[in-house]
Structure 1
Amino acid sequence: MNISNSQFTRYEENNNVWLSQKSGEEFNFNDYGIVPTVLGSEAEVGQAMLKELYDTAASKEGDINIALLGGRGAQELHRLLGNLAKSTEQDLLLARLNVFTQDALASLSMNNGLSFVRDFERILGDAFFKKIKSFTPIRTDTEDLESALVQYLTKLEELGGLDIFFIGHGPEENHASHLAYIKPFSGAKSEHIAGIIPISNSILEHHISKFKAGGSLINENDEKECRSAKYILTLGPAAILQAKKVVQSVVDADSAPAKVQTYANVINTQLSSDTDQLLQQLNANPGLWIRLHPNTESFVLPNLGL
């Protein structure tokens, strides 16, 4: 596609397509580390995430822009929000929310049981989507995925970027990990706000297994269509780093035991002071990007063995 008239610059290498803002500023690679907060249950993690939303709502006026986390990590938060939407208790807050998805597999019909949209609708419920200000998913049911992604990013930029990026932690080979769906060696850089990258078997299996672990009802045709997906659409490092707050949750080490080591690596890896070497570390293990954000919370359970 031709994006010359948009506010984004296109970069492609090794079949990975990344979009960046033309007016992007130079990024300072400061390591802020990660100090996890270990909580006793998934319910407590959900409450802690909801408190972060309440704190943001109290600290500003007007709209609140959030990226929802799919799969198991934020299900308790979504149940809490869904229950609030059934009452009038937080209607004023809900009416301020502009809600975005953060990643997707493509091509995939939007009503596939393995799409994040269906999963969000299942747990958050109809009342939530009726009460919020807007819901903007990444479109996966179009032949022109880049144009759809640019439209999505344009709306996100027009609204001023994310106030809260609710994010997870996905295991990868060689004890690496992904944030959103930024996979290892996809060439993601600090200026890349979103990308379309070839799918990997590890992410495909992780995607299906986390939906099943989360209780999604998936039929044979949905899984067959999902397994034929060729691309990952994901927000990139710039979207994470430019968010005003990043709230991470890791709750499923029991069903995804590889996370014990991959999360430990995010905490304990010594980041290089040499920018070129640091970029190589981030490319090999995208889970490390979270350490470069100055305002991060990471809520985890004791099953990570910390």
Structure 2
Amino acid sequence: MNNTHSKFTRDVDNENIWLSQKSEQEFNVTDYGLKPTVLGSEAEVGQAMLQELYNTAQSKEGDINIALLGGRGAQELHRLLGELAQSSEQDQLLGRLNVFTQDALAPLGMANSFSFVRDFERILGEAFFKKIKSFTPMQTDTQDIESALIAYLSKLEDLGGLDIFFIGHGPEENQASHLAYIKPFSGAQPQHIAGIIPISSSILEHHISKFKAGGSLANESDEKECRSAEYILTLGPAAILQAKKIVQSVVDADSAPAKVKTYAKVLNTTLSSNKEEALQQLNANPGLWIRLHPNTKSFVLPNLGL
């Protein structure tokens, strides 16, 4: 990996590589809490997420930059967008979209059926990708993953950052959780815009089972390649905090029951007003980062037990 990039600084924490940009802004621990909206079905969650996109389109002019959520959480939104792309009803809106992925396994062929890119293509459909302004995935089929990630981040910065960060909630041990793939004890700091994290066999198993359950057209060759992935590429806390709006969805507590307790912990934890103590809490349970954003919607189903 290339270690010399003037635009970004590079921190290493126990083999986790984090990239950040120089900023004069001081980290401010302001806990806005989390106020979940409980909806009756996954279809309603998808409609609510789409409405947030419509709201952003009405409140600003020009391009709209979004980070797609992989896995189950946004599949209904993606189906709705795919259906809209089949008609001309929202062509003007689709033509304003700069679409980014938010995490990825690497190294992995971009055409692998276990890649988020292929899953997005499957659900959103060919018409969607023809009509949007741009699609920028994290490149996972290169020898220099770090340089490719920096090129991705540079494009995101040049376009003005994310208008909407569509995000999920992943369960971790000890009732902790991850956002994007910011893992517990990976050393993520407020200034870190993206990271490259060593992967574990348990994450790979979760990823593969999640894709199979979601209807991915898997084959033995793709699964073997996926199991050889070494890293997770992920957007970091700075990307969350700098996004203009966070839209979270948690819809799969039936198949991932650990989310009942891990979401409740994010909801009910008291974040310390002491900066150093708060950073320790965030490192232990990265799901808490969402509570530091002032413009967050969290759409959930009744199966979270709220």
Q: Which residue of 2 aligns with 1:200?
A: 200
- What does the per-residue CA deviation read over 1:54-92, in whole Å, with 9 as the maximum and x for residues that have no partner? 000000000000000000000000000000000000000
2:181 maps to amino acid: Y
Does residue 110 (structure 1) correspond to residue 110 (structure 2)? The answer is: yes
Contact 2:2 2:146 in 1 (8 A): no
Q: Which residue of 2 aligns with 1:28?
A: 28
Contact 1:248 1:296 in 2 (8 A): yes
- What does the per-residue CA deviation read over 1:11-43, in whole Å, with 9 as the maximum and x for residues that have no partner? 112111000012352221110010100000000
- What does the per-residue CA deviation read over 1:185-226, in whole Å, with 9 as the maximum and x for residues that have no partner? 100000000000111233222212221221111111111111
Query: d(CA) in 2 for partners of 1:105 and 1:41?
Result: 30
**2:194 counterpart SS class:** strand
Q: CA deviation at 1:139?
A: 0.3
2:152 maps to amino acid: Y
1:53-64 aligned within 5 A:
53-64=53-64
Q: CA deviation at 1:2?
A: 4.6
1:85-124 aligned within 5 A:
85-124=85-124
2:116 maps to amino acid: F
Runs of 4+ in 1 over 3 A off after TM superposition: 1-6
Does residue 270 (structure 1) correspond to residue 262 (structure 2)? The answer is: no
Q: Which residue of 1 aligns with 2:155?
A: 155
**1:84 counterpart SS class:** helix
Query: d(CA) in 2 for partners of 1:240 and 1:113?
Result: 27
Query: d(CA) in 1 for partners of 2:230 and 2:2?
Result: 21
- Range with bigger deviation, 197-206 or 83-92: 197-206
Q: CA deviation at 1:52?
A: 0.1
**1:217 counterpart SS class:** coil
Structure 1: unaligned runs, 5 residues or longer: none
Query: d(CA) in 2 for partners of 1:58 and 1:246?
Result: 17
Question: CA separation of 1:131/1:6 partners in 2, compared to 1, >3 Å: closer, same or farther?
Answer: farther
Q: Which residue of 2 aligns with 1:210?
A: 210
Contact 2:82 2:125 in 1 (8 A): yes
Q: CA deviation at 1:5?
A: 4.5
1:193-272 aligned within 5 A:
193-272=193-272
Question: CA separation of 1:2/1:141 partners in 2, compared to 1, >3 Å: closer, same or farther?
Answer: closer
1:58 maps to amino acid: Q
Q: Which residue of 2 aligns with 1:71?
A: 71
Query: d(CA) in 2 for partners of 1:152 and 1:199?
Result: 21
**1:74 counterpart SS class:** helix
Query: d(CA) in 1 for partners of 2:6 and 2:60?
Result: 30
- Name the Cα RMSD after superposition: 1.0
Does residue 305 (structure 1) correspond to residue 297 (structure 2)? The answer is: no
Q: CA deviation at 1:6?
A: 3.7
**1:289 counterpart SS class:** helix
Structure 2: unaligned runs, 5 residues or longer: none
Contact 1:213 1:255 in 2 (8 A): no
Q: Which residue of 2 aligns with 1:181?
A: 181
Contact 2:67 2:102 in 1 (8 A): yes
Question: CA separation of 1:46/1:24 partners in 2, compared to 1, >3 Å: closer, same or farther?
Answer: farther
1:14-53 aligned within 5 A:
14-23=14-23, 25-53=25-53
Query: d(CA) in 2 for partners of 1:5 and 1:297?
Result: 35
1:203 maps to amino acid: I
TM-score (norm 2): 0.98
2:201 maps to amino acid: N
1:233 maps to amino acid: L
**2:72 counterpart SS class:** coil
Q: Which residue of 1 aligns with 2:280?
A: 280
Q: CA deviation at 1:239?
A: 0.2
Query: d(CA) in 2 for partners of 1:5 and 1:220?
Result: 38
1:51 maps to amino acid: Q
Contact 1:3 1:9 in 2 (8 A): no
